Amino acid sequence: MNGHGKILDCTLRDGAYLIDKDFGEKNIRGIIGGLARAGTDYIEIGFLQNEGFREGRTVFKDGADAARYVPKERGRSRFTVLADYSRYDISNLDPFDGSSFDAVRACFFKDERYAVMSFCRRIKQLGYELFVQPVDIMGYSDSEIIELLQNVSEIRPACFSIVDTFGSMYEADLLRIYSLVHHNLAPGIRVGFHSHNNLQMSSALSQSFLKMTFGQREAVVDATLGGMGRGAGNTPTELIAEYMVSRLGYDYRMDELLDLLDGYVDNLRARCSWGYSLPYFVAGAFSAHVNNISYLTDKNGIHAKDMRYILDKIGKRERKRYDYELLEREYLDYIRSDIDDSRTVDTLRAALSGRAVLIVAPGASAVREKERVLECIRETDPVVICVNFVSEACPADYVFFSNARRFEAWKGQTETPDERIIVTSNIPHEGTRCMELSFVRLAKYQNSYADNSVILLLRLLDIVGAGEIYLAGFDGYGKERGHNYADADMEISEQKAKDKNQRIRALLEEYFRERRGAARVSAVTGGSAFAETLENGR
């Protein structure tokens, strides 16, 4: 039995954001085939866009372009694509002929809600089922929702969807909005629900949606295999299907869905990541675009409460989109404290001027190649400065912190005296006698990796006139080198390792171009992702 509720699987569309829409031919065909065998009511195969279409990507110019992925044996499944009003010229769309997708879902932002109506009418005129998908329904007032529904009712689409773009809904929000939709949308039009899992509510809300629509409207629940989607992801197809099978008597074939998870989704997880996390909870709580969180997460040692402050500061409207320059300004305004650090600089200049310095970064090679580190100490008699940790492999003359999280973990854990701890002014350190340096003095604000601790320390050493500089444990990120950190307690989930290494490398290259000092910088331990840059920068 399949009653009033339908599942629309949009793995190949919503999940596509994680892998630049490049699933590959085998994965696309395999996922579509498995979903059809499972009896999925709607299968979304990708995007309509003006450009970016090529083999293996779920991006299409028109129906003829997408037809190659629509199987001849469809079973009961119907096929959809999503067309973003701002990214698709509707004149490119060919008339429906039954050989390709059946429906087009028109997606638009609030400020496009009037202009999109002609776009929607054209989709219907060409013979396709029309789904109307307003982005961020939580961003509409009740009166704006009612006005939108009146305009949509005149077009009479197949479905109008409640889209929780930022994963910020609770059940009361869904009930309120659904009530507005049901009482103001023309009869006979289905209602859809598209959720994001920032608050761990997606599956529960989807179940509630099926209950609240029963006997009133035919319902369409959006879902993705394994919840695959940007940030916290979406309602998992297998979870809502299992609920509908076990509790409501539907006949989706669960073994087919499980085979898809084993055969395709597990492999996709090796290429990208998604799912609930503390930062994405913050995004949901503030109805913020996930790109804001991705940008802020890259900041060195930023806390979830810092993200809350920054998202609150930039305002409701701005955080629904993403403006990296605005985020950078607010981040720096938040953490900066342009103190007078002349006394600290003078103290360090007296201690370090002309002296060889060994920087011990927290990369795994600092421990793995301990003998090289100790040999460097014996041969050069350097001042040893550890970065964001205290190495057990060698004694430290100073410890440098620019990462608040690492500093908090250090406090009270070692016998290193406060007077030998150097902190940048973005780190709260009340109750200590640490030496404090202006973060503003050391950071490059225009670079999103301005706060990389090793780069900040290199700039400091140039300011105080240090002699030759040796680097241990400056390894970069990447599982191919084993553990990323010398101390297992420092390990965190590292995503986009290649991208992070490239950006830190670019910052290191910039340092060598602009540095004030002439002292040579060289690597002591192997395995560094930046060895070539260090060699070229000598």
pLDDT (0 to 100) of residue 98: 95
For Cα atoms 228, 289, 113, give the angle at the middle one, nearest 5 degrees. 100
pLDDT (0 to 100) of residue 494: 52
pLDDT (tens digit per residue) in 19-61: 999 999 999 999 999 999 999 999 999 999 999 999 999 999 9
Each domain of the chain, given as residue ranges in start order, spans 5-269, 278-335, 342-536
Which of 178-182, 317-321, 392-396: highest mean pLDDT?
178-182
- Its pTM stands at 0.67
pLDDT (0 to 100) of residue 337: 55
Q: Distance between CA 374 and CA 376 in Å, rounded?
A: 5
Q: Which of 207-211, 257-261, 518-522 has the lowest mean pLDDT?
A: 518-522
Q: Distance between CA 88 and CA 104 in Å, rounded?
A: 12
Residue 84: CB atoms within 10 Å: 17
* Alpha helices (runs of H) in 126-275, residue ranges in sequence order: 142-155, 171-184, 202-213, 237-248, 254-260, 266-269
Q: Distance between CA 527 and CA 481 in Å, rounded?
A: 7
Asked whether residue 520 carries a pLDDT value surpassing 50, the answer given is yes
Q: Distance between CA 2 and CA 44 in Å, rounded?
A: 19
pLDDT (tens digit per residue) in 217-275: 999 999 999 999 988 899 999 999 999 999 999 999 999 999 999 999 999 988 888 98
Q: Distance between CA 301 and CA 305 in Å, rounded?
A: 12
Asked whether residue 486 carries a pLDDT value surpassing 50, the answer given is no
Give the percent of the chain with pLDDT over 70.
89
Which of 105-119, 379-393, 426-440, 499-513: highest mean pLDDT?
105-119
Residue 124: CB atoms within 10 Å: 17
493 or 201: which leads in pLDDT:
201
pLDDT (tens digit per residue) in 285-311: 778 887 787 778 777 667 777 787 788
pLDDT (tens digit per residue) in 368-386: 888 999 999 999 999 999 9
Helix (H) / strand (E) element for 488: namely none
Residue 415's pLDDT band, with cuts at 50, 70 and 90, is low
Mean pLDDT value across residues 425-439: 82
Asked whether residue 465 carries a pLDDT value surpassing 50, the answer given is yes
Asked whether residue 190 carries a pLDDT value surpassing 60, the answer given is yes
pLDDT (0 to 100) of residue 439: 81
pLDDT (0 to 100) of residue 447: 43
Residue 490's pLDDT band, with cuts at 50, 70 and 90, is very low
* 5-269 topology per CATH: TIM Barrel (3.20.20)
Structure tokens at 306: 């810092």
pLDDT (tens digit per residue) in 307-344: 877 888 788 778 877 787 888 877 777 666 567 899 99
Structure tokens at 255: 């073994």
The 8-class DSSP code of residue 496 comes to -
**CB burial readout 501-532, b (16+ within 10 A) else e:** bebbbebbeebeeeeebebebebbbebbbbbe
511 or 254: which leads in pLDDT:
254
Q: Which of 360-364, 495-499, 523-527 has the lowest mean pLDDT?
A: 495-499
* Alpha helices (runs of H) in 19-58, residue ranges in sequence order: 25-37
pLDDT (0 to 100) of residue 120: 98
Asked whether residue 449 carries a pLDDT value surpassing 90, the answer given is no
The 8-class DSSP code of residue 326 comes to H
Q: Which residue type does 339 have?
A: I
Inter-CA distances, 102 with 12, 56, 78, Å: 16, 21, 6
For Cα atoms 201, 203, 206, give the angle at the middle one, nearest 5 degrees. 100
521 or 100: which leads in pLDDT:
100
Residue 489's pLDDT band, with cuts at 50, 70 and 90, is very low
